[in-house]
Structure 1
Amino acid sequence: MISDFFDTNNYFVDKKNSFQEHYNVYNDKRERIGRIKQKLTVIQKVLRLTVSKTLFPFSIEIRSANGGLVASILKKGIFSKSQIIVQDASGKKVGVIAKKLNRFKPEFKILNNANEVIAEIGDVWKKSNFIINGPSENQIGTINNDWKGSMKNVLRSDNSYNVNIATNYTNKEEKVAILSTAIAINMFF
């Protein structure tokens, strides 16, 4: 079993329960390395059946296979412009997700604590497939919902996806922010 959730560069995310937003995370060796769960109140569960879930505050926990917290994603405000914060396991803010308003293609900027862009995630005109670019416009990863990899026969859900981050990308704090943003995009946008 992988010792650190962030030691891998391929994350296969498989949705398990649509109402509670529970996902399992696997590495490319088919080992379950973690779990993602959104914390919802009863009122939020009922309201999201009629109103867009992007309008509500949310809290998402990313946990390792042994249950330890590795990251969290928080939105405290009620409106779509509210700041989305990424925190590491200790609760330290490691990034902010900023959705860029564009009528044709969704784009997301990931900012560090100094408000510098560490990555941008943009749509590639295919349903829910994205490219992750670094600050110098070089591709550092992808989010792919229609991949045909070795995990396809293991993952049962139609709502599964693959997040791939370049093997030479070694900044762990930024990797936490990038992976967390990829998860938030697939859950809310």
Structure 2
Amino acid sequence: MDFNTTKGEGNMHPSLRNNQYFVKEHVGMFKSANNYDIFDPQTNQKILECREPNLGFFTKLLRFTDYKKMTPFNIEIRTSDGQLVCSVKRGISIFLSKVDVSDENGSIVGHFKQKLFSIGGKFEVLSAENAILCTLQGKWTSWDFRFIQGNTELASVTKKWAGLGKELFTSADNYMLSINDSVDKDDNIRTLVLASVMCIDMVLKE
């Protein structure tokens, strides 16, 4: 199946070629940063870490207020040994969010843009040239999101997966990301899909 996405140049990081990822949030009562660990659910090995290493003082304070959704973020996704895989960045958001995704070299891979008057949470996944690649659709209340292109589902994000014990799915933001195995292993859409999961909480949560 040939998806109308955006191919890389054959140098995509191996960790972005998986079809399933378990994303586990770092839990803390006074946690201001977005910190996640990403595991391969087939091996239970941690393959990626997501951190906000340069969170400013005032941003930290605002994360504990009703202005959390408006705060900027710059999330870095790295391998366990520190290699940068991609980064997800947004400035101050007054009304609708636009998020930039860059590869390990700092080159823009694509963007996310929140849709006006969307119900339940919805944003467009764009290429570096701002062409629409797919749309994230779903309901925050049931934690069921789908990346849709036309009538085709490219990937899904859910808190339900039969392969993991219920103890992993706590009140924290833990997700299972599944990418359609028909999506090319070197397609930049994989980077964008994984990156989007890192900021669903910041962009869509009400």
TM-score category, normalised to shorter length: 0.7 to 0.9
Q: Does 1:35 align with 2:33?
A: no
CA contact (8 A) 2:161 2:176 kept: no
Q: Does 1:14 align with 2:24?
A: yes
Q: What is residue 93 of structure 1 aligned with on the other side?
A: 108
Per-residue deviation at 1:82?
4.8
CA contact (8 A) 1:130 1:142 kept: yes
Q: Deviations over 1:118-139 (max 9, x none)?
A: 11110157522101112x3311
Partner amino acid, structure 2, of 1:25: I
- Relative to structure 1, the CA distance from residue 128 to residue 65 in structure 2 (aligned partners, 3 Å threshold; closer, same or farther) is same
Identity across the alignment (%)? 22
What is the count of residue pairs matched by the alignment?
185
- Mapped partners of 1:50, 1:140: distance in 2: 35
Which residue, 117, 132, 145 being the options, matches 1:130?
145
Q: What is residue 105 of structure 1 aligned with on the other side?
A: 120
Q: What is residue 4 of structure 1 aligned with on the other side?
A: 14
Per-residue deviation at 1:187?
4.4
Q: Does 1:139 align with 2:157?
A: no
Stretch moving more, 147-156 or 60-69: 147-156
Per-residue deviation at 1:153?
5.7
CA contact (8 A) 2:46 2:80 kept: yes
* Residue ranges of structure 2 left out of the alignment (5+ in a row): 1-12
Q: Deviations over 1:8-59 (max 9, x none)?
A: 1101000113413211100122110011112422221112212332211110
- Mapped partners of 1:81, 1:71: distance in 2: 23
Name the SS for the 2:49 alignment partner: strand
- Relative to structure 1, the CA distance from residue 94 to residue 46 in structure 2 (aligned partners, 3 Å threshold; closer, same or farther) is same
Q: What is residue 10 of structure 2 aligned with on the other side?
A: none
Per-residue deviation at 1:157?
4.4
CA contact (8 A) 2:97 2:203 kept: no
The root-mean-square deviation of aligned C-alpha atoms, in Å, is 2.1
- Mapped partners of 1:167, 1:103: distance in 2: 29
* Residue ranges of structure 1 left out of the alignment (5+ in a row): none
- Mapped partners of 1:108, 1:22: distance in 2: 22
